[in-house]
């Protein structure tokens, strides 16, 4: 490649680097509203106390870490030392956090949290990014009404399954047609 072609190539490159995941400071929901309740939840998570996502409600918590996101669904433990590195929290549904009443209840909640992590891990093992996105969207729509899932930002799903936010946007626009395409 001669130097003139190399310079043209460099000029056409687009950067998608997000330094220090600062984009998490301004998570905007799909309907244009800015998510603000998460800061109160984040304060509770950083207190060192362990909570349990109420298993009697359709609710959950997206926990944004430095380079990825985790989902804690109904029955899962949150907080304590486990989430001290959480940078942002996004409640889903009518979030209710409970304090475990015993060590057994706390241990069971940690096991449930591990199950939620394993579910996401199984999804991320798919080598095709579009299929990972479609699977996580399908899973969320099983737990929550589609109108709630539609409000969640693309970056949340992207950090859950290790894809670019643009990929989530494409899958959301094209829907199930993505499954027939192998390029994504």
pLDDT, mean of each 10-residue run, the chain (184 residues): 46 33 43 56 93 96 96 97 94 95 97 97 97 97 94 97 97 72 49
Nearest partner of 76 among 115, 103, 112, judged by Cα: 112
Q: How many domains are contained in the chain?
A: 2
Helix (H) or strand (E) holding 20: none
* Residues 85 and 133 occupy one common structural domain: no
pLDDT of amino acid 91: 96
- For residue 162, the enclosing domain spans 126-179
Say if strands 88-93 and 77-79 run parallel, antiparallel, or are unpaired: unpaired
- Say if residues 123 and 132 touch (Cβ distance below 8 Å): yes
The last residue of one of the domains, among 98, 119, 140, is 119
pLDDT of amino acid 40: 87
In angstroms, the CA 153 to CA 145 distance is: 15
SS3 call for 144: coil
Has residue 6 been placed in a domain? no
Q: How far is CA 140 from the centre of its chain?
A: 11
Has residue 4 been placed in a domain? no
Q: What is the dihedral of CA 16, 22, 24, 26, to 10 degrees?
A: -100
Has residue 30 been placed in a domain? no
The last residue of one of the domains, among 91, 119, 147, is 119
In residues, how long is the chain?
Answer: 184
pLDDT of amino acid 175: 79
Has residue 22 been placed in a domain? no
């Amino acid at each position: 490649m001669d130097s003139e072609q190399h310079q043209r190539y460099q000029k056409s490159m687009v950067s998608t680097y997000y330094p220090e995941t600062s984009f998490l400071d301004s998570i905007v929901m799909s309907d244009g509203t800015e998510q603000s309740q998460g800061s109160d939840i984040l304060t509770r998570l950083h207190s060192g106390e362990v909570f349990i996502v109420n298993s009697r409600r359709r609710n959950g918590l997206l926990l944004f870490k430095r380079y990825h996101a985790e989902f804690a669904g109904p029955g899962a433990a949150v907080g304590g030392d486990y989430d001290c590195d959480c940078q942002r929290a996004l409640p889903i549904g009518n979030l209710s956090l409970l304090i475990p009443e015993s060590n057994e209840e706390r241990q069971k909640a940690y096991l449930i949290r591990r199950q939620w992590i394993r579910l996401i891990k199984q999804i991320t093992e798919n080598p095709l990014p579009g299929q990972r996105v479609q699977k996580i969207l399908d899973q969320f729509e099983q737990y929550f009404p589609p109108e709630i899932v539609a409000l969640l930002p693309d970056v949340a799903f992207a950090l859950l399954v290790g894809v670019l936010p643009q990929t989530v946007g494409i899958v959301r626009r094209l829907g199930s047609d993505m499954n027939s395409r192998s390029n994504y």
